[in-house]
Each structure stands twice: as C-alpha cells, then as structure tokens.
C-alpha cells in the first residue's frame, strides 16, 4: 500500500511539471557569408530575414522552404532587422549608421535614413507603425516619424552607447537600456524621461557588471538584460566571471529575478513570446548548444545542439518557428541557418491579456531554484560506476514526499551512461538483512550497505522545508573509504511541493555527467 501511495505521489508531482515543447528541424540553409549578424521572423511567421556581415539581406519564405530575395542593403554588417506589423515592409540597420526600408514583395528600396551617423545596434517600431526609434553607438536615442522618415527627436539621457530600445504595447512609452547601466522610460508624447533606474544586479558583493545585451517580453511587461559580472579572485590571482540574465519590470524599473549559470557571455538572447523561456547561446568549448531557461524557476528545461558557433537567433511571435545561425565548422567562409518548427509553445496573441507584470513583494516571478554548491558533477565520465540511491530523510515534510524525491532523482540519474543504478528491491533486501532503517543512515552505515550491494558509491540525502524555502541535499559516499566525496544542494524560494520535480532536474547534472 505504501509503495502504491508513493508511486501515486510521484505521478502527481511529475504531472504538475509544465508541458514541454519540442523542436523539429525543418530546414537547413547554407549561406556564403562570413557571419550572419542579425535575424528576424515576421509577425505572421511566414518570412525569415537574415542580415550578413557584408551588408546583405536574405529573405526566405519559411512555409514554402525557399529563398525569395537577396538584397544588397548596406555597406557593412547588418545589426538589426524588423518587419512592420502587416509584414509588408522590412527595415534594416547596422554598422554603416543607416536605416533602410524595403518593400517585402517587390524588393524595392522605399526609404533611407542617414541621420544617426554611427553604428546602429537596434531599431524599434511603435505598435501603430507611426514612429521609428534607433539605438546604437551614440548616447542618444533617435526617433523618426514613419514612414516619412522625418527626424522627430534625439532623446538625451544616457552617458554611454545605447544597446536596446522598445516601445510599450500601447505605444505611449519608449524604453532604452545603455552601457552606462541605466534604463530610461520616455514619454513618447512629450519626449521627456518618465523614469530612470540604475541596473545593479550583482550576485557577488563588490563585483563589477557590464551590460552585454537586452530583449523585451512580447507584452512589454519586463525586460531581460544579459550581464557580465566580474571580480578579482582572492589573492589577486585572476578574475572571476559570471554570465547572468536579469529581468526588470517595465512599470517599476525594479529587478524581478536574476538567472545565473550561463557558460559564456550573453551577447544575444531571446525571450519566448509566451514569456516562459529565455533562449541563450550556452555553448562550451566542447559543445555548441542553445538552452531554454524556464524564467519562472531558473531551470534549463531543454538543450539543443548545433553544429557550430552561434551568431544569431530569432523566434516567431506566433511561437511556431525558431531560427539559429552558426559558423561552418570547416569552411569559415560559410554560415548555416537552421530553422526548427516548435510544437507546444504558445504565441503572444494567445496569452496576451494586456495586464502588466509587477514585481512581487518578495521579488521573483515565482519559485526560484538555485544550486548553492559547485555544479561540477561528482561522478564524471569514464568507467560506469555502480551507484545505490537511498531513501531521503525529511524535516517539515511527509515521509512519502521524501521517498518520492529519492525516486525522482533515481529516475533522472538512471539516464546517465556514467552510472549503473542498483535496483531498489536489492537495496531493500540488504537493509532488511542488516536491520537498518530506510532513512537516517550514517556514512559508515551507507558504506556497509554498499559493500553488501557490491556498489562503488552510495547516495544519501534529505529534503527539508524552512518556511517557504525548500532544500534538497545529497552526499556521495565512497564505499571503499567510507568517506563523503562531495555534497550537492539545491534550494527553492517561494517553494511548493510541486516544484520538487524541477529541483531534482536541476540537481541531477551536478551528481553525474
């Protein structure tokens, strides 16, 4: 009966996990360019535009699977691409300081704006397509009437280059983010600043931060900012770098949450149209990959491999398409664009309610999961290790919840080729023979059990609840030495029982590779 109750609890917990989306590789497009420097998918999901380092633009009809037009648009790298709301025009801007406007169907150039005169990093259109803003290597944000192209204002307030700008969903405000770590909200009607906030999202006391990139949720309720955090290591031997994503509320300018642990600088990233995911280049020297971070709990839900170093990403507002560009691993004169169809992700129009997302009193979007110990796996690759996972202890929770947690972790670890898991019935049999309880084992007890099981390692753990903080801690015991080889811990603030599965998913990679 107890076993059935535990399995029912396991089914309930795993059932509460958010239904995952899937990517299906639909098209692969080789391009003869040194680098794809910008990408954009039209609002209706029909067209993909790719800007190149040489200044060209390739436009592809995704549904038809064919390239419909190539434009010689700029004299140097294209940095920003934008479709108007009706997908009739394509706007482009880049290193040559120009904004160009093209008729999407005829390929004719409609407008060229030269006012900016310096590298443009991002362009933005108001929801009614009547105003155009540009941000880049100037301290000012330029605003033009559109499609006339008449300069309306230069908004002064930043002390360094402005890396991002976006209009609010109603078009009454313009939000800008600069390398000076300032965020400014401008009133579009008066062209005056409404609010100015400093970005001070540090996870290490006394560290310095550099703003590397930014993106905005489709409903403009919050902004995401890619941050490089750095501090001198103890003893002055080198620097410590961290690459984080910080989310800022549009209405308040306050930090909502910071996700830690990206493996490289976040030079570009996306916020999914349903506001659930941040999509980053999370590559290592060995593996190039795109990661989907669950914004609410900070867990990487999925990683997708790519065949080279990523240079650009784009996602459709309807949630149906994702495109990624990367260098050819052999020929540096070539780039490739992969186009995936997305299944299970909502588009902006399906979830948008017009409501703004304000910062909660205790900060955060919801449950916030963090690894509080080193993330390097306790058991690395090599010969398979025989591992037994013991039932967890618990404080402040029902025993069945602790047992279910150990089963969840056992299930996750079983997917790794680095370990050979010992069957639960064998563990139960040895515990009965040694007259040990399921929980509360000391390290010497665990080693004794391991010897009987012919195991190399025993994993013991606990799950504890302190207020709204949930903590899962595991210890890896070396059976031969009876010593603890390492400890790993995951914590979740604003926790509920339903977050246990997400916590286990975050913890498992720190135990086995």
Question: Model confidence over 167-218: pLDDT tens digits?
Answer: 999 999 999 999 999 999 999 999 999 999 999 999 888 999 999 999 999 9
* 377 and 276, same domain (yes or no): no
Residues in CB range of 14: below 8 A, 6 or more apart: 408, 501
Q: Are residues 272 and 306 in the same domain?
A: yes
In this structure, are 279 and 423 located in the same domain? no
406 and 412 in contact (C-beta within 8 Å)?
no
Q: Is the pLDDT of residue 132 over 90?
A: yes
Query: Are residues 349 and 281 part of one domain?
Result: yes
Q: How many domains does the chain have?
A: 2
Q: H or E segment at 469?
A: strand 469-478
- Dump pLDDT digits (tens) for 217-245: 999 999 999 999 999 988 778 899 999 99
Token pair of 147 as six digits: 């499609």
DSSP string computed for 25-84: EEEEEEE-SS-EEEEEE-TTS-EEEEEETTSEEEEEETTTTEEEEEEE--SS-EEEEEE-
Residue 450 lies in a domain: yes
Map residue 251 onto helix, strand or coil: coil
**pLDDT tens digits for 47-73?**
999 999 999 999 999 999 999 999 999
Question: Would the pLDDT of 450 be above 50?
Answer: yes
pLDDT tens-digit readout, 256-290: 889 988 999 999 999 999 999 999 999 998 899 99
Q: Pick the last residue of a domain from 359, 390, 421.
A: 359
- Which of residues 336, 359, 382 is at a domain's end? 359
Sheet holding 131-136, edge to edge: 120-125, 131-136, 140-145, 151-156
CATH number at residue 336: 2.130.10.10
Residues 289 and 325 in one domain: yes
Helix count (H) and strand count (E) of the chain? 6, 35
pLDDT in tens, 340-383: 999 988 877 644 444 443 433 445 676 677 888 988 899 987 78
Residues 444 and 498 in one domain: yes
Q: Write down the pTM of the prediction.
A: 0.72
Mean of pLDDT values over 14-40? 81
Distance CA 357, CA 87 (A): 28
Same structural domain, 315 and 403: no
Could you tell me if residue 114 is inside a domain? no
Residue 473 inside a domain? The answer is yes
- Asked whether the beta carbons of 108 and 122 are under 8 A apart, the reply is no
* pLDDT for res 366: 61
In a domain, 477, yes or no: yes
Q: What is the pLDDT of residues 137-159, one digit of tens each?
A: 999 999 999 999 999 999 999 99
Whether residue 395 sits in one domain with residue 352: no
In a domain, 110, yes or no: no
Could you tell me if 353 and 235 lie in one domain?
yes
Which pLDDT does position 349 carry in this prediction?
A: 61
The average pLDDT across 431-439 equals: 81
Mean pLDDT (the chain) is 88
Residues 6+ apart with CB under 8 A from 439: 390, 391, 392, 393, 394, 399, 402
Residue 14 pLDDT > 80: no
Answer whether residue 239 is part of any domain.
Answer: yes
The answer to whether residues 310 and 378 belong to one domain is: no
- Residue 507: DSSP 8-state: H
- 340 and 377 share a domain? no
Share of the chain above pLDDT 90, in %: 64
Cα-Cα end-to-end distance for the chain? 35
CATH number of the CATH domain containing 457: 3.40.50.10610
% of the chain with per-residue pLDDT over 70? 91
Domain limits at 394? 371-510
Whether pLDDT at 8 is above 50: no
- Would the pLDDT of 3 be above 90? no
Is 70 exceeded by the pLDDT of residue 79?
yes
CB neighbour burial string for 8-24, b if at least 16 within 10 angstroms, e if fewer? ebbeebeeeeeeebebe
Q: Is residue 391 part of a domain?
A: yes
Same structural domain, 221 and 300? yes
The whole-number pLDDT of residue 367 equals 61
Sorted by sequence, the CB contacts under 8 Å of residue 270 that are 6+ apart come out as: 215, 278, 279, 313, 314, 315
The domain boundary residue, chosen from 359, 392, 414: 359
Residue 298, domain member (yes or no): yes
Residue 505 has pLDDT above 80, yes or no: yes
């Amino acid at each position: 009966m107890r076993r059935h109750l535990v399995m029912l609890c396991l089914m309930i917990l795993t059932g509460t996990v958010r239904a995952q989306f899937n990517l299906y590789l639909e098209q692969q497009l080789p391009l003869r360019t040194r680098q794809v420097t910008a990408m954009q998918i039209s609002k209706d999901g029909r067209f993909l535009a790719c800007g190149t380092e040489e200044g060209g633009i390739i436009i592809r009809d995704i549904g038809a699977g064919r390239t419909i037009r190539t434009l010689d648009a700029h004299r140097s790298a294209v940095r920003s691409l934008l479709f108007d709301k009706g997908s009739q025009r394509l706007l482009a801007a880049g290193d040559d300081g120009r904004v160009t406007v093209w008729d999407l169907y005829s390929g004719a150039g409609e407008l060229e704006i030269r006012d900016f005169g310096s590298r443009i990093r991002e362009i933005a259109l108001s929801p009614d397509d009547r105003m155009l803003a540009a941000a880049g290597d100037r301290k000012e944000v330029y605003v033009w009437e559109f499609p006339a192209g008449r300069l309306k204002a230069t908004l002064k307030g930043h002390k360094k280059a402005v890396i991002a700008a976006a209009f609010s969903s109603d078009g009454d405000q313009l939000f800008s983010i600069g390398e000076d770590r300032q965020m400014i909200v401008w009133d579009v009607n008066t062209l005056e600043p409404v609010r100015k906030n400093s970005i001070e999202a540090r996870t290490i006391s006394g560290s310095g931060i550099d703003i590397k990139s930014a993106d905005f949720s489709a409903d403009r309720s919050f902004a995401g900012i890619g941050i490089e955090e750095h501090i001198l290591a103890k003893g002055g031997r080198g620097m410590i770098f961290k690459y984080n994503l910080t989310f800022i509320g549009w209405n308040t300018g306050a930090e909502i949450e910071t996700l830690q642990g990206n493996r490289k600088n976040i030079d570009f990233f996306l916020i999914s149209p349903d506001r659930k995911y941040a999509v980053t280049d999370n590559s290592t020297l060995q593996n190039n990959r795109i990661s989907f971070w669950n914004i609410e709990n900070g867990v990487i839900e999925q990683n997708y491999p790519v065949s080279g170093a990523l240079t650009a990403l784009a996602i459709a507002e309807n949630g149906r398409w994702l495109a990624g560009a990367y260098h050819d691993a052999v020929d540096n004169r070539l780039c490739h664009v992969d186009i995936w169809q997305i299944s299970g992700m909502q588009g902006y129009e399906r979830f948008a309610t017009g409501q703004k997302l304000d910062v909660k009193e205790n900060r955060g979007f919801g449950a916030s999961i963090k690894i509080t110990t080193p993330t390097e796996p306790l058991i690395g690759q090599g010969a398979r290790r025989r591992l037994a996972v013991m039932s967890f202890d618990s404080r402040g929770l029902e025993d069945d919840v602790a047992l279910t947690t150990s089963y969840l972790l056992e299930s996750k670890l079983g997917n790794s080729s680095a370990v050979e898991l010992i069957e639960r019935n064998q563990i139960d049999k040895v515990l009965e023979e040694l007259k040990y309880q399921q929980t509360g084992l000391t390290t010497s007890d665990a080693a004794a059990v391991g010897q009987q099981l012919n195991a190399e390692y025993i994993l013991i753990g606990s799950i504890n609840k302190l207020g709204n903080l949930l903590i899962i801690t595991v210890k890896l015991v070396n059976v031969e030495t009876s010593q603890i080889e390492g400890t790993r811990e995951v914590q979740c603030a604003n926790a509920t029982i339903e977050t246990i599965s997400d916590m286990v998913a975050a913890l498992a990679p720190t135990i086995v590779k």
